Amino acid sequence: MATVKLLTDAEADAIPAVKAVFDDIRATRKSDFVNNFWRGLAYDPALLKRTWEQLKEVMVGEGALDPLVREMVYIAVSTANGCQYCVHSHTAAARAKGMSEAQYGELLAVIGLAAQTNHLVTAMQIPVDPEFDVKS
């Protein structure tokens, strides 16, 4: 159960500001499927629009990072933040973008290792080496 109502297609179609975003999601992804996140976010059409436009700009299309790499970074952040839904949706997205079994296994290994050393560093309060400073 969610704290907001998840809009059905009929309900979304009845609100022009929501319909416009849903239409763009479908056109951009070339798929009829609009996942629950957007159906919940439609609760606040301005927030829905801002969030979708940001996601489209950051995650869709060409860039300096391969789209699959961006999805794997997304999985990493979502895991550390403990967001179940986000882990599921972005793991599915990464697979749809071609993540291989071997790549996923390595991704899991890096996420687990990073968490371990993050906690060790914090527990020991290791000071930053001056060598890591950015030369401006």
Binding positions for a second copy, 36-65, rule CB under 8 A? 36-37, 40-41, 43-44, 46-47, 50-51, 54-55, 57-59, 63-65
Whichever of 20 and 43 has its CB closer to a second copy, that residue is: 43
Q: How many helices (H) and strands (E) does the chain have?
A: 7, 0
106 binding a second copy? (CB under 8 A) = yes
> Rounded to the nearest 5°, which phi and psi values hold at 97?
-90, 10
> Rounded distance, CA 96 to CA 38, Å?
19
- In whole angstroms, how close is the CB of 59 to a second copy at the nearest point? 7
Which listed residue (12, 21, 25, 76) binds a second copy by CB under 8 A? 76
Mark the segment that binds a second copy (CB under 8 A) among 12-20, 21-29, 83-91: 83-91
Whichever of 23 and 117 has its CB closer to a second copy, that residue is: 117
Residue 112, CB-side half-sphere exposure with 13 Å CA sphere:
6
Say if residues 115 and 80 touch (Cβ distance below 8 Å).
yes
> Rounded distance, CA 101 to CA 96, Å?
12
Whichever of 27 and 33 has its CB closer to a second copy, that residue is: 33
Say if residues 26 and 32 touch (Cβ distance below 8 Å).
yes
Which listed residue (12, 18, 21, 78) binds a second copy by CB under 8 A? 78
